[in-house]
Structure 1
Amino acid sequence: MTESQTPADLPAKLLHYIDGEFVDSIDGDTFDVLEPVSNQTYVQAASAREADVDRAVAAAKRAFDEGPWPRMLPRERSRVLHRIADIVESRDARLAELEAFDSGLPITQALGQARRAAENFRFFADLIVAQVDNAFKVPGSQMNYVNRKPIGVAGLITPWNVPFMQESWKLAPAIATGNTVVLKPASYTPLSAVLWPEIFREAGLPDGVFNLIFGSGGVAGDHLVRHPDVPIISFTGDSSTGATISTAAAPQFKSLSLELGGKSPAVVFADADLESALDATVFGVFSLNGERCTAGSRVLVERSIYDDFIARFAERAKKIVVGLPGDHRTEVGALVHPNHFEKVMSYIEIGKGEGRLLAGGGRPEGFPTGNYVAPTVFVDVAPDARIFQEEIFGPVVAITPFDTEEEALALANNTKYGLAAYLWTSDLRRGHNFAQGIESGMVWLNSNNVRDLRTPFGGVKASGLGREGGYRSIDFYTTQQSVQITLGTAHTPSFGKQQPPVAQGLDDPDPR
């Protein structure tokens, strides 16, 4: 095994970007950034404290209150977003290289995420120009219309899995609608975020519209959430942190979008196209190293095909290519950080007492160091098992059989999460009815996570609060003001023009 190739021209230090300038932390504080194949520190990043967050928010607020961006026509903002998309597309190879090196994601999958980031900007560039708002007319009496306005400074807190794409998913609609932003990426994977300042500057985004701070969630993220000049918070991450953010933001009645954890079911009926279902379920849990919120990490299989399915599933898992993130043959790379590696490995040990191990179960052969986990398959897993109930966020799957449609639905809904679900059947009626019974924000029927950007993204239960995607993102990042105009004579009761009424005596009728 060779060591991961360090990308050329890395910055000597990762700095914040505030009001159009790269700046260090005010107190000079830093944190180490590790490369997941060797777990060695390859760079230090500036670590923001409260004063640094205040500085970034002040720049964003000044750009919103005094700058041109919120006052530009949608078409003008759209042109800037299209230029951003063009630049991102032109640099997809560099983005993928940095993403694979920093996060451990296989480079072929990182390349796809870089291209998706460009598409996010292009999509919202088109959407803000095509946006139509409601207008209502009462003939000869009144005209009512909705006026959309940007809200202010948006605090964007992004996760360490596919970080550049996740950042684009929030940045594009936030700035498209005229807001200014402060972005805080995850501290495990800050590298690709340093490309945004150059991209935005080249595209013509005014200074102060985009501000970038690095640091911990407990300090920088917490202060950003609580800051009185940040009325919008969009967060993607684990459910426990989401609950903390919700509590912190509540006293100021901030607009919140929380996309949190998942333990998504993939339900395979006996009448499914089995080969397609295997393709989708294997890819759904092992792609992106299993570090994806929508992973189908619980596979529920009808008993009549169960034995054949698990044998074929395990055989595929054993053949998955584990390798260096930068190798184009790699299908599963290194997990993002040693802390996360230890968490996933601890769940594998738990799983050995909760299910029957058919594949994996530890480090892959030939990888004695680094954050490598062999694709792991547990079968015959009971519904109350921890590996069935809790989010592992790694290349680990729990498979269990079911006998009836009613049992399958109960098993699918038997977690605190409700983000995504996948359903495989050739019975169209059952597919639609079953989908409506599943407690999840999104359902894919005979498909694997191919999402139309116009559709809402989000979950129910512990998987989140609110929706983004398409017009829902426009709704979230704007305030909707109702304007009423009288077209005729206003019919308003006239108070205060009559003589005061005579005082009533005790014998007068009840005035009610």
Structure 2
Amino acid sequence: MNNNQLYINGQWVNSISKDKIEVENPATEKIFEHVPAANEEDVNSAVKAAKSAFDSWSKLSLDERLSYLNKAFEIFEGYQDDLVEIEIKELGSPRSWAKNAHVKGPIKRFENYLKIAKDFSFKDDLPKATVVKEPIGVIGCLTPWNYPLNQVIQKVIPALICGNTVVLKPSQITPLSAYFLAEAFHKAELPSGVFNLVTGRGAEVGNVLASHKDVDMISFTGSTSGGIEVGKLALETVKKLALELGGKSPNLVLKGSNYEEAVKTSLNSTFNNTGQTCSALTRLIVPKEDLQEIENIIVEKSKGFIVGDPDEEETKVGPLSNKKQFDKVKYFVEKGIEEGAKLLVGEVPQKKDKGYFANPVVFSNVSNKMEIAQEEIFGPVLCVIPYEGIEEGIEIANDTIYGLSGAVFGPQEEAENAAKRIKTGEIKINNGKWDPLAPFGGYKQSGIGREGGFYGLEEFVEIKTLFNK
């Protein structure tokens, strides 16, 4: 894969900047690849190409656009084995998780957008008017390192379906999987300038895109602090914004629920992807009178999360993505001990000879006022918070600046009533299954807008009313 260049205006081109970004394998700490560290001139070239391509691309029929994208999908789908290897190397994802969550999942999303696009209404008839949904223009897509391919697909594909053109800046930590998508578009002969890939650092590429006068919308996924910074820059020219940000999601366990299922759900959510998931259920809120019983279940079930080489089949938890993340998790584990939480599982992370590995940690008897219960740790750290009475449980669930995801386990009617009172963009009730047509996004400081299904398409259109009747 040609990851030594940028993809601009339908061609692989050298960066005007001669600088390079090192791509590190977090399991070995070895630099195994480099990508260009693009500069403002590179961004300007990409935006110019996208702007020039917008008029002709937006005027194509939906069927014509889908013809290109279906061809690209067929090519991209053939890269699955290579993509698994890339996510093991650039993210440190265990093989099984890389295969299912980082490759099969995004490919399924790509396919799903193509399937539902024909049923998406680009026109709504009102009694005395017609509402049309038009392409916005040039979309700057800024994607994160923790689910690198998934978030690229969630932005780029619906944006293109709706007739927009795109400049993509993937994370500098995990930039490589995006090259496979660019290559698929290239081989599918997507018209020049419709899709552009510019790798680089946030301040040198992301911020330039966010403030660029010819970029019409910014779709950003990352930390809340990063989203605020990008949002401020984008609003200088009043761009449309979609922000998918942080979380500190609650799993409220009601009296009479299946405690084993509730614990299993939180452990999987918190430990898979080494805890580097914005929607992870990192606050397990449990009946105080049953705390000991639930602690016993946690200790037993935590034994199944084997930490080690992500290339080994039995590994469930790989390394953290980089030294910064390792140091952050170490700080919060030490902070939890200092705050007086009970260290039920795990220990303070200790740096090994190679790799940014941290064993899963569970704190019990946590107060929701503690820093470990309020801050997004982004590592395999679970907080168990006891409550007395359902009102206190719901109050604790909502006592956060975030509102991205959540869960409630309990008798069905009681669980559904509680779920309706928890301020999150999505919430799992008992064993509720994921639906690819469902929207994803958050309340409060977890973001603005939604991704997924028809809701994800609607983010990338402008609404125009025609009084024509």
Pairwise TM-score range, normalised by the shorter structure: over 0.9
Partner Cα distance (2:400, 2:64) in 1:
46
Please state how far the C-alpha of 1:136 moved relative to its aligned partner. 2.4
Which residue is equivalent to 1:473?
456
1:57 aligns with 2:47: yes
Which residue is equivalent to 1:507?
none
1:461 aligns with 2:444: yes
Identity percentage of aligned residues: 35
Which residue is equivalent to 1:178?
163
Matching residue's letter, 2:348: G
Please state how far the C-alpha of 1:421 moved relative to its aligned partner. 0.8
Which residue is equivalent to 1:441?
425
Relative distance call for 1:120 and 1:80 in structure 2 (3 A) is: farther
Matching residue's letter, 1:63: A
Which residue is equivalent to 1:80?
68
Please state how far the C-alpha of 1:178 moved relative to its aligned partner. 0.9
Please state how far the C-alpha of 1:402 moved relative to its aligned partner. 1.0
SS in 2 for 1:401: strand
Please state how far the C-alpha of 1:368 moved relative to its aligned partner. 4.1
Partner Cα distance (1:364, 1:374) in 2:
9
Please state how far the C-alpha of 1:364 moved relative to its aligned partner. 7.8
SS in 1 for 2:402: coil
Q: How does 1:391-402 map to 2 (within 5 A)?
A: 391-402=376-387
Task: Note the alpha carbon deviations across 1:118-145, whole angstroms, 9 max, x for none.
Answer: 22222221222112231124xxxxx522
Task: Note the alpha carbon deviations across 1:225-251, whole angstroms, 9 max, x for none.
Answer: 000111111000000011111111112
Report if the CA contact (8 A) 2:254-2:415 is conserved. Answer: no
Q: How does 1:372-391 map to 2 (within 5 A)?
A: 372-391=357-376
Partner Cα distance (1:217, 1:195) in 2:
21
Relative distance call for 1:305 and 1:203 in structure 2 (3 A) is: farther
Please state how far the C-alpha of 1:50 moved relative to its aligned partner. 1.0
1:125 aligns with 2:108: no
SS in 2 for 1:55: helix
Please state how far the C-alpha of 1:75 moved relative to its aligned partner. 1.7
Report if the CA contact (8 A) 1:238-1:261 is conserved. Answer: yes
Q: Give me the TM-score of the superposition, normalised by structure 1.
A: 0.88
Q: How does 1:135-214 map to 2 (within 5 A)?
A: 135-137=125-127, 144-214=129-199
Please state how far the C-alpha of 1:318 moved relative to its aligned partner. 3.2
Please state how far the C-alpha of 1:15 moved relative to its aligned partner. 2.0
Matching residue's letter, 1:464: G
1:415 aligns with 2:400: yes
Which residue is equivalent to 2:327?
342
Partner Cα distance (1:374, 1:368) in 2:
15
SS in 1 for 2:314: coil
Task: Note the alpha carbon deviations across 1:198-245, whole angstroms, 9 max, x for none.
Answer: 111223322211101111111210000000111111000000011111
Please state how far the C-alpha of 1:49 moved relative to its aligned partner. 1.2
1:224 aligns with 2:209: yes
Partner Cα distance (1:224, 1:123) in 2:
28
SS in 1 for 2:139: strand
Which residue is equivalent to 2:285?
300
Partner Cα distance (1:45, 1:445) in 2:
43
Which residue is equivalent to 1:498?
none
1:358 aligns with 2:344: yes
Report if the CA contact (8 A) 1:155-1:183 is conserved. Answer: yes
Please state how far the C-alpha of 1:84 moved relative to its aligned partner. 3.0
Partner Cα distance (1:51, 1:88) in 2:
29
1:432 aligns with 2:422: no
Report if the CA contact (8 A) 1:318-1:359 is conserved. Answer: no
Relative distance call for 1:128 and 1:392 in structure 2 (3 A) is: same
Partner Cα distance (2:267, 2:353) in 1:
25
SS in 2 for 1:175: helix
Partner Cα distance (2:350, 2:62) in 1:
51
| Aligned partner (choices 8, 18, 21) of residue 18 of structure 1 | 8
Relative distance call for 1:472 and 1:458 in structure 2 (3 A) is: same
Which residue is equivalent to 1:274?
259
SS in 1 for 2:299: helix
Which residue is equivalent to 1:510?
none
Task: Note the alpha carbon deviations across 1:428-476, whole angstroms, 9 max, x for none.
Answer: 222222111111111111137x432222211111111122222222222
Higher mean displacement: 118-127 or 455-464: 118-127
Which residue is equivalent to 2:124?
134
For these two proteins, the number of residue pairs brought into alignment is 466
Which of the pair has more CA radius of gyration? 1
Partner Cα distance (1:60, 1:27) in 2:
20
Q: Give me the TM-score of the superposition, normalised by structure 2.
A: 0.95
Task: Note the alpha carbon deviations across 1:66-90, whole angstroms, 9 max, x for none.
Answer: x3x2222112222333333333333
Task: Note the alpha carbon deviations across 1:72-124, whole angstroms, 9 max, x for none.
Answer: 21122223333333333332221111011100111211111211212222222
Report if the CA contact (8 A) 1:260-1:462 is conserved. Answer: yes
Please state how far the C-alpha of 1:25 moved relative to its aligned partner. 1.9
The runs of 5 or more residues in structure 1 that have no matched partner are 1-9, 138-142, 487-512
Report if the CA contact (8 A) 1:231-1:255 is conserved. Answer: yes
| C-alpha RMSD of the superposition | 1.7
Matching residue's letter, 1:356: K
Matching residue's letter, 1:229: D
Report if the CA contact (8 A) 1:182-1:211 is conserved. Answer: yes
Which residue is equivalent to 1:243?
228
Which residue is equivalent to 2:33?
43
Moved over 3 A (4+): 362-365
The runs of 5 or more residues in structure 2 that have no matched partner are none
